[in-house]
């Protein structure tokens, strides 16, 4: 049976709600706000480990907000659910909304995400061959060779953002990723094959399939095989799954080995690959909930097995060991891989970031209009209101 995302979404909010440590508390120090956000994220992930339906809720949100990190997707979804409003679709800071001709509505409270603190540094090689970083404005040590400047992460901060539903002003068409849509399977197949090629893998449709499985990723031969007996739509689904393996489960994947992601793609690795496929396909308007349920049903057990393996074999190491840390790692890996694919396949929607509006101002049938009633379709095609 397919999970019930609507119920799970409200459960996530209820079980992970902030109280006195709510990140929107104006009296918080930056350190306290980061601690509150991190604590809330861990509670979300602990709940997600307990239930495949909660994990699927996070994947549903990832299909809309795929330009965001997994942790921030979870935080945005939770904060909107706590307020009893729609899930976030397009998110930006106060100044960015102003540049788009929209203002935050009176009485709206910010959503909070975790953003990096960065600094510009000068990379240098000292006369003894060692490498060092110095602040960009400081003078280089005597005899040092300039290796160029680089931006590095120095810490983390809470950043206030607002969903488009919290703003008003210039009418803006907001395509919704993950909504039902007419999908051209042949076009999606070609774009997924292009994504595989971008990562150095050829795609073969063949009857000589490994173990008569529907799909197989051959890392040694740099190829993805898909069963020739499948219809075009099923081939597309299988290719999306195998792309999850391509991006996540290569022979040098140290974290993946913790999840038992050998050449047979067992354990949590299968859940990761199917989660990538589910997110990518849903972003393109294909809901694979019932079909993915079999894979995702093993999510909680797979996390527990990975936790036990980490405790037995990786004590004191840098790999994620607790259930929440493993879930956070998996969500981060899945959303990063999905983004890598979706940036090539160009699904409907903007991935949740307002900065994508100017870069990709396309119109889709599955959309909502902020600030105006949705216009009727003209005889010449869809109508866009606003910029």
SS3 of residue 387 by DSSP: coil
Residue 310 confidence (pLDDT):
64
Neighbours of 10 (CB within 10 A): 14
Question: Which structure tokens are listed for 305?
Answer: 């097995």
Distance CA(384)–CA(387), nearest Å, equals 8
Radius of gyration of the chain (CA): 22
Structural contact between residues 244 and 252, judged by C-beta atoms closer than 8 angstroms: no
SS3 of residue 381 by DSSP: strand
SS3 of residue 379 by DSSP: coil
Taking CA atoms, 21 is separated from 3, 16, 29, 224, in Å, by 31, 12, 11, 48
Residue 369 confidence (pLDDT):
40
Structural contact between residues 364 and 85, judged by C-beta atoms closer than 8 angstroms: no
Question: Which structure tokens are listed for 367?
Answer: 């959309």
Give the contacts of 24 (CB within 8 A, at least 6 positions apart): 109, 110, 112
Taking CA atoms, 288 is separated from 60, 175, 233, 248, in Å, by 11, 20, 12, 21
**pLDDT, tens digit only, all 387 positions of the chain:** 333 334 444 344 334 333 334 555 557 788 888 888 888 888 888 888 877 788 888 999 999 999 999 999 999 988 888 888 778 889 999 999 999 899 999 999 999 999 888 888 888 888 888 888 878 777 778 877 777 788 888 888 889 999 999 999 988 776 554 455 567 889 999 999 999 999 999 999 988 766 667 888 888 899 999 999 999 999 999 999 999 999 988 877 766 665 554 444 357 788 888 899 999 999 998 887 777 777 677 676 777 777 676 666 554 555 566 778 888 888 999 999 999 999 999 998 788 987 654 434 333 334 444 443 333 322 222 222 222
Residue 97 confidence (pLDDT):
92
Return the DSSP state at 139.
Answer: P
Question: Which structure tokens are listed for 157?
Answer: 């901060």
Return the DSSP state at 310.
Answer: H
Residue 247 buriedness (CB in 10 A; 0-12 / 13-18 / 19+): buried
User: Of 187, 229, 213, nearest to 270 (Cα)?
Assistant: 213
Structural contact between residues 43 and 16, judged by C-beta atoms closer than 8 angstroms: yes
Distance CA(275)–CA(44), nearest Å, equals 17
Distance CA(91)–CA(166), nearest Å, equals 10
Return the DSSP state at 67.
Answer: T
Structural contact between residues 255 and 233, judged by C-beta atoms closer than 8 angstroms: no
Residue 255 confidence (pLDDT):
65
């Amino acid at each position: 049976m397919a999970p019930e995302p609507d119920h799970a979404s409200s459960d996530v909010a209820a079980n992970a709600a902030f109280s006195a440590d709510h990140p929107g508390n104006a009296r918080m120090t930056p350190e306290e706000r980061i601690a509150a956000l991190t604590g809330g994220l861990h509670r979300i992930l602990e709940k997600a480990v307990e239930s495949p339906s909660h994990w699927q809720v996070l994947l549903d949100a990832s299909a809309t907000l795929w330009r965001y990190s997994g942790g921030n997707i979870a935080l945005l979804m939770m904060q909107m659910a706590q307020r009893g409003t729609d899930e976030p679709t397009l998110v930006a800071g106060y100044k960015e909304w102003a540049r788009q001709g929209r203002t935050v509505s009176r009485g709206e409270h910010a959503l909070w995400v975790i953003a990096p603190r960065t600094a510009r540094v000068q990379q240098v090689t000292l006369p003894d061959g060692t490498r060092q970083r110095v602040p960009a404005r400081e003078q280089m040590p005597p005899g040092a060779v300039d290796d160029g400047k680089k931006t590095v992460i120095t810490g983390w901060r809470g950043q206030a953002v607002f969903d488009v539903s919290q703003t008003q002003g210039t009418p803006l068409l907001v395509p919704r990723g993950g909504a039902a849509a007419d999908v051209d399977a042949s076009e999606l197949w070609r774009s997924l094959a292009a994504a595989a090629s971008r990562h150095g893998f050829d795609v073969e449709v063949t009857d000589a399939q490994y173990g008569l499985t529907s799909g197989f990723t051959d890392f040694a031969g740099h190829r993805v095989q898909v069963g020739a007996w499948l219809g075009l739509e099923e081939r597309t689904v299988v290719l999306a799954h195998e792309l999850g393996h391509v991006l996540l489960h290569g022979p040098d994947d140290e974290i993946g080995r913790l999840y038992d992601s050998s050449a047979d793609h067992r354990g949590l690795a299968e859940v990761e690959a199917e989660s990538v496929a589910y997110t990518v396909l849903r972003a393109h308007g294909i809901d694979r909930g019932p079909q993915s349920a079999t894979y995702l049903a093993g999510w909680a057990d797979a996390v527990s097995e990975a936790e036990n393996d980490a405790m037995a074999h990786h004590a004191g190491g840098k790999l994620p060991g607790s259930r929440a840390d493993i879930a956070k790692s998996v969500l981060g890996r899945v959303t990063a891989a999905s983004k890598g694919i979706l940036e090539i396949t160009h699904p409907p929607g903007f991935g949740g970031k307002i900065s994508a509006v100017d870069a990709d101002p396309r119109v889709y049938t599955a959309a909502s209009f902020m600030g105006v009633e949705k216009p009727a379709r003209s005889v010449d095609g869809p109508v866009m209101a606003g910029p």
